[in-house]
Structure 1
Amino acid sequence: MAGSIRRHWKRWLIAGVAAVAVLCTAGPYVYINYVQDKPPAALSLDDPRGSDSSGSSRGSGQGVEGSWRVGSGSQAGYRVDEVLFGQNVTAVGRTEKVTGELEIEGNRAVSGSFTVDLASVKSDSDQRDGQFRGRVMNTERYPEATFELTEPVDFGSAPAVGEQVSAKATGELTVHGETNSVSFELDAQRTADGFRVNGSIPVTFADYGIEAPDFGGIAVEDEGNIEFLLAFDRA
């Protein structure tokens, strides 16, 4: 009798362990693929916020030369790939707390910069946000990320309202107290009373003294992107 009970107990134990293993594997898969919201699409000029292409607006007849500042409708943040309990996911965090300025002469942006308030960046996870502000970015000590042009950006020509042009930007990106030279493609779109600029800056975390998180079933890739969509108004 005792031997029979032990055999039954072992079978139930093995079955229980197997069930837990299945739940641990299937649970994250089901949640990530069927329950969790998909990450927002990359920022682009297709985003309607901050856009006004109606030719009747007060600034439509003006040129683009002069001083500009980052206005409402602007946003910036990060996009990075994660492995969450064995499942591949994309983490996205954003903020609208972005400031900056730009100086245009002819068809070239001759100087400019923008600054992102990192402490205000939010994703779809409070836990991720706490890690981002704390052990990852230490926003108490390094509250901002800044990009500043070091070479003029030549757009070739001033686009008509609603049209887009592309160019290459080169400058210095400062994150986590470290500064590196970066180059990337950006797109600009003329609006009725200003223009918008969109781009994505690749970031290798080690270049900025940032350790990619790897804890509690969450591992983050060594590289990510800083996305931005800036709406400029006359300064």
Structure 2
Amino acid sequence: MAGSIRRHWKRWLIAAVAAVAVLCTAGPYIYINYVQDKPPAALSLDDPPGSDSSGSSSGSREDVAGAWRVGSGSQAGYRVDEVLFGQNVTAVGRTEKVTGELEIEGNRAVSGSFTVDLASVKSDSDQRDGQFRGRIMNTERYPEATFELTEPIDFGSAPAVGERVSAKATGELTVHGETNSVSFELDAQRTADGFRVNGSIPVTFADYGIEAPDFGGITVEDEGNIEFLLAFNRA
């Protein structure tokens, strides 16, 4: 009788361990692929313009020279690939707290910068946001990320309203107290009373003294991107 009980207990224990193993592997897969919302698409000029970018147009191709500032409808944030309990996911965090300015002479942007309030960046996970603001980015000490042009951007010609142009931007990116030179492609579009600029800046975390997180079943790639969509209005 005792032997039979022990055999039943062993079979139950093995079944329980197997069930836990299945849940540990299948649970994250089910959550990530069927429960969790898909990450938002990359910021794009196809996104609807903000309220400051609407209205009728009286502008011509030649009236873009002068001083501009980042206005409402602007966004910036990060996009990085994670491995969550063996499942590949894309983490995205964003904020609308973005400031900046731009000076245009002729068809060239001769100076400009924008600054992102990192402490206000939010994703779909409070736990991720806490790690981002704390051990990863230390936003209490380094609350902002800043990009500043170091070379003029030549757009070739002033686009008409609704028209898009592309160009290469070169400047200095400061994140986590470290500054590095970066170059990347960006797109710009004239709007009724200004223009919008969209781009993505590749970031290698080690270049900025940031340790790629690896904790609690979550690992993060060594590289990510800073995405931005800036709406400019007359300063």
User: TM-score by structure 1 length?
Assistant: 0.97
Shift, 1:50, TM fit? 2.3
Q: Deviations over 1:58-91 (max 9, x none)?
A: 5567610000000000000000000001100000
Q: Deviations over 1:105-161 (max 9, x none)?
A: 010000000000000000000000000000000000000000000000000011100
Structure 2: distance between partners of 1:13 and 1:45: 57
Equivalent residue, structure 1, for 2:140: 140
Structure 2: distance between partners of 1:64 and 1:156: 13
Structure 1: distance between partners of 2:153 and 2:61: 23
* Structure 2 unmatched runs, 5+: none
Identical positions, percent: 94
Equivalent residue, structure 1, for 2:130: 130
* Structure 1 unmatched runs, 5+: none
Shift, 1:57, TM fit? 3.3
Shift, 1:3, TM fit? 1.4
Structure 1: distance between partners of 2:200 and 2:183: 10
Structure 1: distance between partners of 2:52 and 2:148: 26
Structure 2: distance between partners of 1:68 and 1:180: 25
Structure 1: distance between partners of 2:54 and 2:228: 23
Cα RMSD, aligned residues only: 1.4
Structure 1: distance between partners of 2:61 and 2:95: 32
User: TM-score by structure 2 length?
Assistant: 0.97
Q: Is the 8 A contact 1:76 1:229 kept in 2?
A: yes
Equivalent residue, structure 1, for 2:25: 25
Shift, 1:56, TM fit? 2.6
Describe the shift of the 1:58–1:72 C-alpha distance in structure 2 as closer, same or farther (beyond 3 A). Answer: farther
Q: Is the 8 A contact 2:61 2:159 kept in 1?
A: no
Question: Number of aligned pairs?
Answer: 235
Q: Is the 8 A contact 2:52 2:233 kept in 1?
A: no
4+ residue segments displaced more than 3 Å? 51-55, 57-62
